[in-house]
Amino acid sequence: MSDLTGILMERLTAAFEGGRDPVRAAGAAAYMRGQFPFLGLAAPARRSLARTALAGLPKPAEADLREVAVACWARDEREFQHFACDYLIAHGRIAGPGFLSTVAELITTKSWWDTVDPLATRVTGALVTRHPTLRSRMDEWSREEDMWLVRTAILHQLHYGKDTDTDRLFGYCTAQAGHPDFFVRKAIGWALRHYARTDPEAVRAYLAEQGGRLSPLSVREAAKHL
């Protein structure tokens, strides 16, 4: 473990433990269906404590990004994984294409929407923008058995706007139209609804052509503001 990672994790642990709120922790754990323990830190408090822990530390190298993320994922309390997502979003521009393997590891470990979605829409999406060769990896993820990789592929262009590759967006949605899991069906609707802000006519045309293949949930979400 690098000095940066060691110091950061030591500071972060002390800061987060000092802010522990058992009542809020119980509520957060219940909201997440009991899958993860929490310290009970509200997001603004967590981010404030994180800023204090980060004060004076140098910017990370790519190796530090991986070490910090893996160290946070090894902790039981969910706030550490939330911090790691924020850290990767803040410093992800230093990551090369090979970092996608680390992101895949995080997506498929302790998986739930609260970490997968920022990793999909902000970390993976930014990596693919900077390194277009990774588009083929998104094609692969869109066909994976792991539903969280499928969700990531569908959502990674969420903030691309006019730069969205619509062949991939619509293609992924069509390919997974019959997926049995709620989180994939929801992702299809979310991705289409978001792109409708940029090109509502394209989404209307897609729904007219392919809507019968999509789940009612996906269609309802996609058409919410059309």
pLDDT in tens, 171-223: 999 999 999 999 999 999 999 999 999 999 999 999 999 999 999 999 999 99
- Render pLDDT for 114-126 as a digit per residue (tens, 0 to 9): 999 999 999 999 9
pLDDT grade for 14, boundaries at 50, 70 and 90: very high
The one-letter code for the residue type at 94 is I
Segment 122-145 shows an average pLDDT of 98
Q: Pick from 100, 181, 103: which is nearest to 135 by CA?
A: 100
pLDDT grade for 2, boundaries at 50, 70 and 90: confident
Whole-model pTM: value is 0.96
Domain 134-226 classified CATH 1.25.10.90? yes
* Cβ 117 vs Cβ 77: under 8 Å: no
What is the pLDDT at residue 182? 98
What is the pLDDT at residue 147? 98
What is the pLDDT at residue 1? 75
